[in-house]
Amino acid sequence: MRGRFPRVGDRAVGITLGIVLGIGVILLFLFLGSRSTIDQPSISGETTQTVTQPAASPGQPKPKAPR
């Protein structure tokens, strides 16, 4: 009969499985869940250029988006 405490091998498998699952969840979110963000991550190696606009002062209207 097994004792109350898990064996060292069981604990190592549990820790390893937890780390692998955690990294998997982060990668799934990164590449599938963040497609609508400004800078979409990609592994294709293509470079994309982003355009930033200065923040509007409280008394000035917002700048129009370039077309």
Residue-wise pLDDT tens digits, 3-60: 676 688 888 999 999 999 999 999 888 888 776 666 666 666 666 666 777 776 776 6
Higher pLDDT among residues 12 and 66, named by residue: 12
> Is position 25 within any domain?
yes
The string of DSSP codes covering 3-65 is: -SSPPHHHHHHHHHHHHHHHHHHHHHIIIIITTTSSS---SS---------PPPPTTSPPPPP
Q: Which amino acid is at 53?
A: Q
> Is position 60 within any domain?
no
> Is position 18 within any domain?
yes
Question: What range does the domain containing 12 cover?
Answer: 7-33
Q: What is the pTM of this model?
A: 0.47
Q: Give the chain's domain count.
A: 1
